[in-house]
Chains A and B, each alone.
Chain A
Amino acid sequence: MSLQYDFNFWVTLILIVVVMGAIQGTCAYMILAERKISAWAQDRVGPNRVGPLGLLQPIADGVKFLLKEEVIPTHVDKVFYLLAPAIAVGTALLAFAVVPFGPTTTPPVLINRLPDLTEEQRKDVFATFDKSDITQEALAELARTASTLPTWQQTMAGRKLLLEADRVYAGQLGEPAFEERLKAYNESIQFVIAPHLDIGIVFVFAVSSLAVYGIVLGGWSSNNKYSFLGSLRSSAQLISYEIPLGMSALGVMLLAGSLNMERMIADQAYHGWNFFWQPTACLLFITSVFAECNRLPFDLPEAEQELVGGYHTEYSAMKFALFFLGEYTHMITTSFLVVTLFFGGWHLPWIATPEQSGIGVTVLKVAIIGGKMILFVVFYMLIRWTLPRFRFDQLMALAWKVMMPLALINFLCVVLVKYLGFDQSWQGRATLLPAALVLLTGAAYLTVLLPRKRERKRIYFRGHEIAPKAKTANV
């Protein structure tokens, strides 16, 4: 038989080329945007010499990186030295494969229709099944289990059974069967490079976790104590923050009922944006995402470059550029993720809804999701100049002692809501909002109530400007 999911080759190829080019271009211009926004926040103008308003500055930077001398020190481990930036960039770009950047429609779901058919129809369905594939016992077993197993546990034979049942069911209702809907979906143009990937967001998390290899290998291969320590700290930070990252997104996944990002957007279109119903999860996700991208306030791996070393000390022109390209691509991917998971993706309440289609609406939806992503990137850059950097122990304590329990309790609240069946309407979901706020405030209150482990004391020596005066002639 043909491929289960056949895809339109040319559409996918064009999408890949366009999107990868757009990401690289956006990364380059994000460097300019970062410098400009940093400048404005500091009461100065950024680069404005190269081209009008400095708009050709990224091109100048790109030319510089390309033409710079490639130095490979003799004391490095060559294989991993050259592999590390490749991994950093490759995983960052790969993670973008399932992220929607424009209007998407939800893929069709194969529902088990065997219980809905009459006994006669069920007999007919089993009759069409090719008996030579399978023994009688196995068929009986299949008939028994196919009706009870959820669709994702089917075998190929069981799947054929369900497709047939669906065809019969849909035929009697006059609707198109699952296979036709799937074919229509595969032929439609989705603004995702790899649509209908049902593990959607887990793929992004998994591939982003591989980026840790880039950092660890970079630090190790540099054959330099300080690089090694810097990369160890960075990898510890990245791994620690992946846990709150995944757990805070769990609530969203539960409410949407799927890991597929297109379904999450559709779910938010019908039930309200997840930002309103789970602000705690949104806050935890955003914080984790800052840590995953090594941005301030979780800047320690990069600050160490200024101070001591860090994983990209020994790297020169293009390899250094690749590390930074990887970091900015992570920023773009995670901005899209936040927008998709919590802010409704391309959805705006009365302006851009899933029912609308057409070329104008498509352009509008691309603009909407792009605009939201840009707002979030600007937020990234503004926070950089707002918050001071975390110390390493504060960073780890935050991940393990604060964010993970909060994410877990948030998940429990969502589980409760789903168990009680509230998640079908937005009013039901709105009960999560006070729960989230109570959770946040309660956690803060608990921390305030906790006794201090040790009293911190200050000693003022004589001569300090607020020291006590010398009491007696004790000079």
Chain B
Amino acid sequence: MPIAANEVTWVTEPKIGLVEQLYLPAIIQGLGTTISHSFSTLFGSGPPVTQQFPEVRPKLPPNYRGVHRLNRDEQGRVRCVACYMCSTACPAHCIDIVAAPSPWPDREKYPELFVIDELRCIYCGMCEQACPVDAIELTTLCDLTGMSREEMMFDKEKLLSVFDQTVKAGTDPVRTKGGKLGVASEVADSGVTWSSTAES
């Protein structure tokens, strides 16, 4: 719609004075800021914001989407029931499951083969959202390396071992699908913020 005349304000820029026209006082003031920042970083009164990475790991939030793991239940069995929901939900089609009749009485199926190609994965977390039994989860492990493409296709044992490694990290899901609260909920409720920069 056209602009009405009363919506327009005509404003002139203020004229700059002598001191500003010289530009030098402003430059010197700017140099003062730069030099004071340099000195404070160098001689320690203000620490640099750089985090020296391999020595200092960043604090990652509990819902960080890193490497997958397959969870175990209280008896140490794999939780997954091979329902194929994660595999169907995956946008990158990186989960391969082969189901088999489960050796335990309280379940029908269990995954005989469960392979995730970590290199195809886009770490979107859809599998974690889709799983009805909280079997698959993305951890906070972010620095994943491998020497070959074959090495990066994680099978069931590898994924379970990731679980064994990270179960004590305290980054289990905040609220499980079953509605129970996980360990990380206490952390979330206590108001501690998880950020990756060293703030304290």
The closest CB in chain A to the CB of B35 belongs to A382
Residues of chain B with a CB closer than 8 A to A452's CB: 15
**What are 5 contact pairs spanning A and B, CB under 8 A?**
A386-B30, A444-B21, A447-B21, A460-B8, A470-B6
B8 touches A459 (CB 8 A): yes
The closest CB in chain B to the CB of A384 belongs to B34
B7 touches A461 (CB 8 A): yes
B9 touches A44 (CB 8 A): no
Q: In this assembly, does B122 line the interface, its C-beta being within 8 Å of a C-beta of chain A?
A: no
Q: In this assembly, does A153 line the interface, its C-beta being within 8 Å of a C-beta of chain B?
A: no
* A41→B8 CA distance, assembly (Å): 42
Interface size class of B (residues with CB under 8 A): 20 to 34
* A23→B49 CA distance, assembly (Å): 33
* Given A40-B42, A383-B31, A472-B6, residue A456 in contact with residue B12 (CB < 8 A): yes
Q: In this assembly, does A123 line the interface, its C-beta being within 8 Å of a C-beta of chain B?
A: no
Those of A351-399 within 8 Å (CB) of chain B? 382-383, 385-387
Q: In this assembly, does A119 line the interface, its C-beta being within 8 Å of a C-beta of chain B?
A: no
**B22 partner, pick from A444, A467, A470, beta carbons under 8 A:** A444
The closest CB in chain A to the CB of B39 belongs to A40
Q: In this assembly, does B4 line the interface, its C-beta being within 8 Å of a C-beta of chain A?
A: yes
Q: List chain A positions with a Cβ less than 8 A from chain B.
A: 37, 39-45, 48, 283, 382-383, 385-387, 440-441, 444-445, 447-448, 452, 455-462, 467-468, 470-472, 474
B48 touches A43 (CB 8 A): yes
* A444→B49 CA distance, assembly (Å): 40
* A467→B4 CA distance, assembly (Å): 13
* A45→B44 CA distance, assembly (Å): 11
**A459 partner, pick from B9, B15, B35, beta carbons under 8 A:** B9
The closest CB in chain A to the CB of B22 belongs to A444
**A43 partner, pick from B9, B49, B52, beta carbons under 8 A:** B49
Distance to closest chain B CB from A53 (angstroms): 12
The closest CB in chain A to the CB of B47 belongs to A43
**B11 partner, pick from A45, A386, A458, beta carbons under 8 A:** A458
Residues of chain B with a CB closer than 8 A to A458's CB: 9-11, 13
**B6 partner, pick from A39, A41, A471, beta carbons under 8 A:** A471
* A456→B42 CA distance, assembly (Å): 44
**A445 partner, pick from B4, B9, B18, B46, beta carbons under 8 A:** B18
Extra A-B contacts (11), CB below 8 Å, given A43-B40, A44-B50, A455-B12: A41-B41, A43-B49, A382-B31, A444-B21, A447-B21, A456-B13, A457-B11, A458-B10, A459-B8, A460-B7, A461-B7
B27 touches A386 (CB 8 A): yes
Residues of chain B with a CB closer than 8 A to A471's CB: 6
* A272→B38 CA distance, assembly (Å): 32
* A39→B38 CA distance, assembly (Å): 8
* A447→B40 CA distance, assembly (Å): 38
Distance to closest chain B CB from A100 (angstroms): 28
* Given A455-B12, A459-B9, residue A386 in contact with residue B34 (CB < 8 A): yes
Distance to closest chain A CB from B42 (angstroms): 6
B37 touches A42 (CB 8 A): yes
Residues of chain B with a CB closer than 8 A to A474's CB: 4, 6-7
* A45→B46 CA distance, assembly (Å): 12
B38 touches A448 (CB 8 A): no
A41 touches B21 (CB 8 A): no
**B21 partner, pick from A39, A382, A448, beta carbons under 8 A:** A448
Distance to closest chain A CB from B9 (angstroms): 5
* A45→B42 CA distance, assembly (Å): 9
The closest CB in chain A to the CB of B4 belongs to A474
* A382→B39 CA distance, assembly (Å): 12
* A471→B21 CA distance, assembly (Å): 38
B7 touches A467 (CB 8 A): yes
Distance to closest chain A CB from B51 (angstroms): 10
* A447→B17 CA distance, assembly (Å): 10
Residues of chain A with a CB closer than 8 A to B18's CB: 441, 444-445, 448
B12 touches A448 (CB 8 A): no
B9 touches A41 (CB 8 A): no
A441 touches B10 (CB 8 A): no
* Given A44-B49, A448-B16, A457-B12, residue A382 in contact with residue B38 (CB < 8 A): yes
Residues of chain A with a CB closer than 8 A to B33's CB: 386
The closest CB in chain B to the CB of A383 belongs to B31
* A387→B34 CA distance, assembly (Å): 10
Q: In this assembly, does B3 line the interface, its C-beta being within 8 Å of a C-beta of chain A?
A: yes
* Given A40-B37, A456-B13, A461-B3, residue A440 in contact with residue B30 (CB < 8 A): no
A387 touches B30 (CB 8 A): yes
Residues of chain B with a CB closer than 8 A to A44's CB: 41, 48-50
Residues of chain A with a CB closer than 8 A to B50's CB: 39, 44-45
The closest CB in chain A to the CB of B31 belongs to A386
